[in-house]
Structure 1
Amino acid sequence: MNLYRSKNHRIFAGVIGGIAERFGWSVALLRLIWVLLTLTPVPGLIIYLVLWMVLPER
């Protein structure tokens, strides 16, 4: 599984764009889902920050 941060679909760090590119999903839909998940307590934001630090940029 080659996950990476996107250079083309980035707003903040390209994590969501990279995941969407890898699996062929809609970037906008995945961002919407991510926002809804992060409205719940903090774990969504922590997961994003960890992925930002761990995933290489494409």
Structure 2
Amino acid sequence: MASDLVRPRSGRVIAGVCAGLARRFGLSPWLVRVLFLASLLLPGPQAVIYLVLWILVPAERA
């Protein structure tokens, strides 16, 4: 069963958004990071969405 969407305290590269999404959907964090970086080659608001998720998704509690 998938956990709630939170930014983990460990395994972060920048803000933990990709790691949190990967954990939530049961994927590899590196797969999510590579897909995000590849999506930046396409036009769209991907960077803005990342920033919004960074602000809205709570950090994991200790």
TM-score, structure 2 normalization = 0.83
How far off its partner does 1:26 sit? 0.6
User: What are structure 2's unaligned runs of at least 5 residues?
Assistant: none
User: What are structure 1's unaligned runs of at least 5 residues?
Assistant: none
Per-residue CA distance 1:1-58 (angstroms, 9 max, x = gap): 7211121121110000011111110111111000011122351100000000000001
- Aligned match of 2:43: 41
Identity %: 41
SS of the residue aligned with 2:32? helix
| Pairwise CA RMSD | 1.4
Larger Rg: 2
TM-score, structure 1 normalization = 0.88
Q: Which has the higher helix share?
A: 1
Give the one of 30, 33, 37 matched to 2:32: 30
